[in-house]
Amino acid sequence: MTDLPIGRAFAVLAERSPDAVAVHDGDDVWTRRRLEDDTNRLARAWQDRVGLDDVVTVALPSGIDLVRACVAAWKLGATPQPLAPTLDVAERQAVLDLTGPALVVDGRLGETSTVRSRRSCRGTPCSSSRARCSTPHPSCTPCAAS
């Protein structure tokens, strides 16, 4: 199993032992199967905004939602970037400007989750969530691909 991408490894573990505990937070316990099914749904919901080698900023407190967001990002071939939800506004913005994540997850995951596309190029918001900038810049990887 060491040659598998991490997102696929979660699927294999769920296939092997679906009822094994994957994560728990207090009284909230999730099995491998539940985590697999849930993160597949999240990944499908995000797939138009997140792709291979993208960064997904996850600004959630420690808990199951943090794990869910990270696993969903891995399933899409992206890199989750945990960010303390307690950062002050200026520090948070500086990190987001530096990393340029495809997505920022900063609210409880569920039907009313706060998930925003954050693609930008040199401070100019992109006109589409898949990184086609309104003002392309050759040095910006997403713009260069446009």
| pLDDT digit string, tens, across residues 76-115 | 999 999 999 999 999 999 999 999 999 999 887 764 344 5
Residue count of the chain, please give it.
146
For the chain, the domains span 6-144
> Helix crossing, 64-75 with 32-46: angle to 10°?
60
Instruction: Tokens for 87, please give them.
Output: 């950062």
- Report yes or no: 103 and 117 within 8 Å, Cβ to Cβ: yes
Instruction: Report the C-alpha gap between 104 and 55 in whole angstroms.
Output: 9
pLDDT of residue 57: 95
H-state helical runs in 84-130:
89-99
Q: What is the CATH number of domain 6-144?
A: 3.40.50.980
Model's pTM, two decimal places?
0.76
